Structure 1
Amino acid sequence: MNRAMPSGACTPGRTGRSSRRTACAGLVAGLAAFWGASAGAAEAIAAPLPQVVAAQQATAGPRLVFFNDDPTAAVGDSIGLRILGMPSSWNEVTVTSPALRKPARLTPKSRGATDSAEVYGPGQMQWLRSDITPGTYTLTAAFHGRTVATTHVKVTAQADARIFRFTVWPQSARSGSRAMICFIDERAAPDEKSLVATSPAFHGAARLTTDGADDNSCPTADGSDTLYSGHVTLRSGLAAGSYQVKVVSHHGRNTSTQKITVPADARASRPGAGSRADSSDDGLLWAASGGAACLALVGVVAYTMRRRGGSATG
C-alpha cells in the first residue's frame, strides 16, 4: 500500500520549523498505525474461525483411513481400514478393491457412532491378494451401493526368504519309520500358513503348519520367526542311501532342500541304537542260548539217575 505524503508537509522551512516537525511526526505515526491496523485486519480475515474449521470438517464427508495411517503393505499382507465421518444412522460400509481377497465390511464402533472401530485381531484385518503385482490400488467404500469415500494402498513386493533352519529328524531313519520336519523362515510370506515337504522317501507329502504343535522340538531364533513343522512316514522297502527333501515357499519363489538317510543297518536308525535297544536284543539271545543249555543239563542229570537206579537193582 503506497500512500503519497503531502508535498512540503515534512519539509523544513525558514518559518514555523517546529510546528512543521510536530505535524510531520504526527503524520508518520498516523500512517504507521493505519498500515498496522490494515495488516492485522487482513490476517484476521485470512485465519479461519474455530467454528468455520469445525463446519468444514463436518461437511468434508466420510473418510477411509488406514490403521496407524500407514498406506503401505506387502503382497499378501494384511491392512487395517476405518471409515470416519459417517452419518449417525449408518449401519455398514463395504470396501472393495482389486487388491483385496474379499470385500471388507466396516460397522459402527457403537450405536450412533460416526466412525468404525479400530480393532486388531482375527477377522478384523483385511488381507491383500497373493497374486497381484506391486503397485498402487484404489480402495472404494460404498454405503447402500453409493460410493462415500476412496483411498489408495501402496502394495510392495514380498521380502525374499531367509531360512534360519531346515532339519529332518532323525537324519538317519529306517524304512517305514516316522520323521519330523522343522522349517524356520525369518522372512516368511505373510499369507503362507502352511507349506508342503516332498521326497522320494516319503509315503505322500508332508504338510508343515504354523500351529505350534512342535515348538518345543523346533526352537526358533527369536519370537518373530515363523516356524513350520510336521511329521511324515517313510515308505516301506526303501533301499539304503540318501534321499532329497524339498520345501517350496513364498508362493513358488523359494526352494529349499535337505537330505534324509536310510542306513543299510536298520538298527542304526533307532534313537539310542547300540545301547538300550541293542542290549535288549542281546539279552533275548542270551536267554535263548542259556535256556537251551539248561535243558541239556537236565537231560544229562536224568539219564545219569536212571543209570544209577538200574545198577542198584541189578
Structure 2
Amino acid sequence: MNWTRTAGSVLGAGVLWLACGAVAQPAAAEGPGTVHVLLNGAYDNRPGELVDIDVQGVRSHGEVTVTSPVFPHRVRLAPYHVADGRGHHARPAIAMTVGPGTYPLRVHVGGKVVAEDRVEVKEAGKPVFEAGTAGDVLRPGERFPVSYDDLVPGATGDAFTVTSPVFRGPVRLVHDPRGGYWNNPRMFTALVAVPHDAKDGTYKVRLTGPHGEIDEKALEVRAARPGDSDYLGRARGPAFFAPSGSPQVARKSGHKVVAGGTVNVLWRDGSPDPGEDERLTAISPAFERPVPLKRDESKAGDGDDPRYYGPARVREGLDAGRYPVTVVSHHGRVKRTGHLLVEAAAQASGGGPDRTLLIGGVSAGAVAGTALGVVLVLRRNRARTAGQAPAGVSQPE
C-alpha cells in the first residue's frame, strides 16, 4: 500500500470536511460582545445636551433602538454603511427634567438587549455670556471668540447680537451644529476681529436678544508698545525661491529670474501682528503689481515660524540688474528689503543665434561631408580595380 497517498487522501478529506462544516455553520446572532456601542458625550452632560450614539456589529436587518432614563422616549437609530457592513447612529437630547446622576443605556435589536453603557448627567447651569478671555489684552486686528450659552429650561429664540463702540457694526451669534459645540443646541458663537485702527482703551460689549439687552462684558484693547515681545516681532525676509521650488531653499539675495518670469516671495515672522495674514504685501519696481503674501497653512510649515509667500510676475522687457523687494509689517514699524537679480530675456538665452540650430547645422554638414568623401573613395577604388586583373589571370595585350 502507498501510505503517502493514503495519508494525503485522509488529510484532504479532513480538510474538506472542516471547510464544509465551516460553511454550514450559521452566522452568530447579536448579543453581548458582538455589538459595540460608542457614546460621544457620555460624561459631564447637562440636561438638554445631545449624546452621539454609534452602534456597530448588528448583522440582522431588524430595527435598532436605544432606551435610557435620560431620554423621554425610545430612540430609533438610523442605519448607515461602513466598510465591514452596517452601522447605526442617532443624536438624541437628554431630557431637561433629568437630575444629576449616572444612568444606564441599552441597545435593543429585535426586542433583545445586545449592548449596554452608561450616561452621566450633571446639574443644569445658568446662561453664560463670554467675550474673549477674562483678563486678556487684545491687539488691534486680533480675532477673539464671543459666545452665549443659555441651555436652561424654557430658553427659546436664536436672534442674539453683540455690539460695541470698537466694532465696525453689530455681530450676529449663530449655532453651528458641525462645530465644536455640536452637543449644545443652545450655544451661539461668533469670531470677531478688532479693527486694525482701534485705539487703546476699555470697551463695553453688549449682548442683546429677542427681548432686549441680556448682558455686557469689558474688552481691553492696547497696541503693542516698545519693550513688548511682539512690538517688532521676529521678522525675516523677504527671500525668494522658484515657482517649482520650496520655501526651505529660499535665498534673501542672489536669486536670479528672467524678465517676464515668476518668482515666489517669502516672509517669516515668529510673532506677526494680529490680522497680518490679510495685509502683508511685497512691492518692487521689478514686479508688474504688488504681491499679496498669504500664510502657508500646509504641513510643510509645521515647526517653523509663521511664514507667508506669494508669486510675483516680473515685468517683461526689464533691463538686467539688481532690484529691491520690500515688505512692511507691524503697522509700519518693521521694513525689510531684499534684492532680486533680473536677467534680460536675450541675456538668459545667450544673446546670439540659436545654438541648437548652429549645432544642428554643423552636424548635418559634417554628415554630408563624410558621405561625399565615402562616395569619392569608392569611385576611386573602382577605377583602380578596373585597370588590374585578378591574380592568376593574364591581361590581354
Place the TM-score, normalised by the shorter chain, in its bin: 0.5 to 0.7
Pair 94,199 (structure 1): closer, same or farther in 2 beyond 3 Å: same
Mapped partners of 1:187, 1:178: distance in 2: 28
Higher helix share: 1
Mapped partners of 1:238, 1:133: distance in 2: 44
Deviation at 1:110, TM superposition (A): 8.8
Number of the residue aligned with 1:30: none
Q: Are residue 174 (structure 1) and residue 258 (structure 2) matched?
A: yes
Deviation at 1:62, TM superposition (A): 6.8
Equivalent residue runs for 1:135-174 within 5 Å:
135-144=201-210, 146-158=212-224, 159-160=230-231, 161-169=233-241, 171-174=255-258
Number of the residue aligned with 1:80: 145
Which sections of structure 2, spanning at least 5 residues, go unmatched? 1-125, 176-180, 225-229, 243-254, 388-397
Aligned-partner residue type, residue 197 of structure 2? D
Mapped partners of 2:312, 2:182: distance in 1: 49
SS in 2 for 1:173: strand
Q: Give the conservation status (yes or no) of the 8 Å contact 1:169–1:181.
A: yes
Mapped partners of 1:240, 1:190: distance in 2: 38
SS in 2 for 1:295: helix
Aligned-partner residue type, residue 184 of structure 1? R
Q: Give the conservation status (yes or no) of the 8 Å contact 1:101–1:127.
A: no
Mapped partners of 2:156, 2:195: distance in 1: 29
Q: Are residue 127 (structure 1) and residue 202 (structure 2) matched?
A: no
Query: Which structure would you say has the larger Rg?
Result: 1
Number of the residue aligned with 1:212: 297
Deviation at 1:238, TM superposition (A): 2.1
Q: Give the conservation status (yes or no) of the 8 Å contact 1:89–1:112.
A: no
SS in 2 for 1:236: coil
Pair 310,166 (structure 1): closer, same or farther in 2 beyond 3 Å: same
Q: Give the conservation status (yes or no) of the 8 Å contact 1:106–1:116.
A: no
Equivalent residue runs for 1:1-314 within 5 Å:
64-83=129-148, 88-91=154-157, 92-106=159-173, 116=187, 124-144=190-210, 146-158=212-224, 159-160=230-231, 161-169=233-241, 171-194=255-278, 195-212=280-297, 216=300, 222-223=303-304, 225-263=305-343, 265-266=347-348, 288-306=361-379, 312=386
Deviation at 1:154, TM superposition (A): 0.5
TM-score normalised per structure 1: 0.60
Higher strand share: 2
RMSD of aligned alpha carbons:
3.7
Mapped partners of 2:374, 2:129: distance in 1: 102
Aligned-partner residue type, residue 97 of structure 1? S
Which sections of structure 1, spanning at least 5 residues, go unmatched? 1-60, 269-280
Mapped partners of 2:182, 2:295: distance in 1: 35
Q: Give the conservation status (yes or no) of the 8 Å contact 1:62–1:149.
A: no
Number of the residue aligned with 2:6: none
**Could you say which structure has the greater relative contact order, defined with CA pairs below 8 angstroms and 6 or more residues apart?**
1
SS in 1 for 2:268: strand
| Alignment: residue pair count | 230
Mapped partners of 1:70, 1:90: distance in 2: 31
Q: Give the conservation status (yes or no) of the 8 Å contact 2:151–2:184.
A: no
Aligned-partner residue type, residue 238 of structure 2? F
Aligned-partner residue type, residue 177 of structure 1? G
Pair 63,112 (structure 1): closer, same or farther in 2 beyond 3 Å: closer
Q: Give the conservation status (yes or no) of the 8 Å contact 1:62–1:148.
A: no
CA offsets 1:134-174 (integer angstroms, 9 cap, x no match): 11111111223722222210001043342034311251222
